[in-house]
């Protein structure tokens, strides 16, 4: 790390200055329509004296909106007099993707949440990852990174933390998830954690929680309310914002193994046979994939590999081989 060149990103805010600052992480980006142009990533810092630092992020994927809606609102409304410490808010981490409404960057097709630790001399997406890796995460005590299903997935709304080797940090993560007070709370398993923001933070020993709040490339009134309440609850739980946590009953889910995931093996039109939140039994048909190339072909059935409830599903009506079709989680509390 120490041999790497400095990040090309220049913040227009001072992370160590008290008060409220609204500015940018400015990343130089020379292109056809702007020879000396920059990517301007909106950033807010709210600081009031000494205390813990929270890093709040959304738009890690550009087609997920609950986080940005909650965080742009928080940046506008949070009173610094209620803060003890520092709140860093980046509502749209992958700003080019966010402006395009796509999961990955239109500049380099980079998936920011698979680009960590990044590179200061890499692509635009890698440069953004590098800045968070080397500049923002080291000063962070607790990180909350908002996600939802984007255009291709839909989830029951949950807050999540990972099972970790450090059981003290694991317990603190689950306590923060409980404080968030989403309708569902998840002990999260990733299909592939390499290159994720989550992994970068956890390898530094940071307290990290995340969400999946709906999906379908849009937001709902309910999921935005959950996000707004949840982020304030986490800040209060961490002792950074004054006031009591507004607790709402949450039900815990677990993803105990890769058997949670079901993938399409054919292209076609998907028919969901179970709705989100409904209980399923091992072997039950979760979805059917209908051939669209000709008539008279029986649909292919996707069956649950374990019992539980449907926590996520493929969202668009058409599916391709390899797409995640369904996720089953186990109710544990």
| 3-class SS letters over the chain | CCCCCCCCCEECCCCCCCEEEEEEEEEECCECCECCCEEEEEEEEEEECCCCEEEEECCCCCCCCHHHHHHHHHHHHCCHHHECEEEEEECCCCHHHHHHCCCCCCCCCCCHHHCCCCCCCCCHHHHHHHHHHHHHHHHCCEEEECCCCCCCEEECCEEEEECCCCHHHHHHHHHHHHHHCCCEEEEECCCCCCCCHHHHHHHCCCEEEEEECCCCCCCCHHHHHHHHHHHHHHHHHCCCECCCCCCCCCEEEECCCHHHEEECCCCEEEEECCCCCCEECCCCEEEEEECCCCCCCCCEEEECCCCEEEEEEECCCEECCCCEEEEEEEECC
Q: Quote the pTM value.
A: 0.96
The pLDDT value recorded for residue 8 is: 98
Q: What is the pLDDT of residue 10?
A: 98
User: pLDDT 10s per residue in the chain (333 long)?
Assistant: 457 899 999 999 999 999 999 999 999 999 999 999 999 999 999 999 999 999 999 999 999 999 999 999 999 999 999 999 999 999 999 999 999 999 999 999 999 999 999 999 999 999 999 999 999 999 999 999 999 999 999 999 999 999 888 999 999 999 999 999 999 999 987 777 899 999 999 999 999 999 999 999 999 999 999 999 999 999 999 999 999 999 999 999 999 999 999 999 999 999 999 999 999 999 999 999 999 999 999 999 999 999 999 999 999 999 999 999 999 999 996
Task: Cite the residue boundaries of each domain of the chain with CATH code 2.40.50.100.
Answer: 261-331
Note the pLDDT of residue 86: 98
Measured CA to CA, the distance from residue 49 to residue 240 in angstroms comes to 11
Check residue 1 and give its pLDDT.
45
The ranges of the chain annotated as CATH 3.40.630.10 are 2-254
Q: Which fold has domain 2-254?
A: Aminopeptidase (3.40.630)
- Structure confidence at residue 90 (pLDDT): 98
261-331 architecture in CATH? Beta Barrel (2.40)
């Amino acid at each position: 790390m120490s041999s790497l060149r400095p990040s090309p990103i220049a913040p227009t805010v001072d992370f160590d200055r008290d008060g409220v600052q609204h500015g940018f992480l400015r990343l130089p980006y020379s292109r056809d329509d702007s020879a000396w142009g920059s990517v301007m990533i909106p950033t807010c810092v709210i600081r009031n004296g000494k205390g813990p630092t929270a890093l709040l992020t959304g738009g890690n994927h550009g087609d997920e909106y609950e986080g940005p809606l909650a965080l742009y609102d928080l940046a506008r409304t949070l009173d610094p007099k209620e803060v003890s410490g520092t709140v860093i808010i980046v509502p749209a981490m992958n700003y080019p993707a966010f402006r395009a409404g796509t999961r990955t960057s239109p500049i380099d097709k980079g998936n920011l949440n698979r680009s960590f630790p990044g590179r200061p001399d890499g692509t635009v997406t890698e440069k953004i990852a590098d800045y968070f890796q080397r500049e923002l995460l080291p000063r962070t005590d607790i990180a909350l990174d908002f996600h939802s299903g984007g255009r291709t997935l839909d989830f029951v709304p949950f807050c999540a933390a990972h099972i970790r080797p450090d059981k003290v940090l694991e317990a603190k993560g689950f306590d923060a998830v409980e404080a968030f007070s989403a309708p569902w709370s998840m002990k999260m398993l990733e299909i592939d954690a390499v290159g994720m923001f989550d992994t970068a933070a956890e390898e530094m020993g940071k307290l990290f929680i995340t969400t999946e709040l709906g999906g379908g490339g849009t937001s709902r009134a309910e999921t935005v309310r959950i996000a707004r309440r949840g982020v304030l609850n986490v800040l209060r739980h961490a002792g950074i914002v004054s006031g009591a946590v507004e607790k709402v009953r949450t039900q815990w889910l677990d993803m105990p193994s890769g058997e949670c995931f079901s993938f399409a093996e054919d292209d076609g039109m998907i028919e969901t046979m179970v709705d989100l939140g409904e209980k399923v039994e091992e072997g039950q048909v979760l979805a059917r994939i209908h051939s669209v190339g000709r008539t008279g072909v029986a649909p292919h059935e996707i069956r649950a590999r374990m019992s539980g409830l449907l926590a996520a599903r493929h969202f668009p009506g058409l599916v391709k081989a390899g797409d995640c079709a369904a996720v089953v989680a186990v109710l544990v509390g």
